[in-house]
Amino acid sequence: MAYFDFVLQRQAQRKSELQLVAMCCTLLAAKFQGPEEKVPQISELNTCSKNTYSREQIVAMEVSILQTLDWRLDVLTPLHFVDHLLALGVASLDDTLDGAPLRESEKLEKIPRRLRQFSEFFVRLCLENHEFYAFAPSLLAAASVATSRYVLTVQPLWPGFLAARTGYSEAELYPCMQAVLQYSSLRFPQKFESLAAAAPSMGTKSEISPRTATASVLGE
């Protein structure tokens, strides 16, 4: 998607070629990001278009896209930043859960896994909406982690070690966090609508407090 957006910003495309551009961007992403054994063959990829394009057309468009990208395929997405943060750790034994020390909670082993699930979920969900492309990838990743901590009632919302690792203060995350919660509540109202309503402005730290919805969010 990042390649596709960049190409469309840099180079006008005929409507009849948009599918071809999308196919070639997918192929390039698979070659650069994925394992070699999972890179689709051109013939396999062309079945998505019902074999509309010839092999020569696909190869020519692939080269054209590479030239438009200036052969720079190292695009960092929010998922890259989330993976990096998760690898460093987004929870601490000094955190609290439902007002009690996390180190003493029976959910201690579950929380890191849940934080990963929610962080990746929020990023993937937001990337389907182009409005979120207004946020820097690193900011959306950080806000997704913070939103995950909020949903799971892990406090403080944005501890010092996460602020130091990301370079973002808690206040800088609020606009993106609110957008994440609002969009999540639109897509999945039964799960997130009450959580979004519980933090209508996120204007100060005191407005973000633990809720009583942890059990339902954790699927218990």
Q: 100 and 20 share a domain? A: no
Rounded mean pLDDT of the chain? 80
- The parent domain of residue 189 ranges over 78-217
Determine the Cα–Cα distance for residues 91 and 83; give it in Å rounded to an integer: 14
Does 5 or 88 have the greater pLDDT score? 88
Domain boundary among 19, 37, 68: 68
- pLDDT (tens digit per residue) in 142-165: 999 999 999 998 999 999 999 999
Is the residue at 26 inside a domain? yes
Q: 114 and 196 share a domain? A: yes
Domain boundary among 68, 94, 119: 68
Query: How would residue 198 be classed by pLDDT, with cut points 50, 70 and 90?
Result: low
Peptide bond preceding 156: is omega within 30 degrees of 0, i.e. cis? Answer: yes
Is the residue at 213 inside a domain? yes
Is the residue at 212 inside a domain? yes
Is the residue at 73 inside a domain? no
Q: 137 and 56 share a domain? A: no
Q: 113 and 195 share a domain? A: yes
CA 48 to centroid of chain Cα atoms: 26
Residue 155 has φ and ψ, to the nearest 5°, of -120, 150
Q: 92 and 176 share a domain? A: yes
Is the residue at 186 inside a domain? yes
Q: 60 and 88 share a domain? A: no
Q: How many domains does the chain have?
A: 2
CATH of residue 133? 1.10.472.10
Q: 202 and 133 share a domain? A: yes
- pLDDT (tens digit per residue) in 167-184: 999 999 999 999 999 999
Closest Cα to residue 10, out of 61, 59, 78, 70?
Answer: 70
Mean pLDDT of 128-150: 92
Is the residue at 208 inside a domain? yes
Residue 97 has φ and ψ, to the nearest 5°, of -130, 120
Q: 35 and 56 share a domain? A: yes
Domain boundary among 68, 95, 111: 68
Residue 215 pLDDT: 34
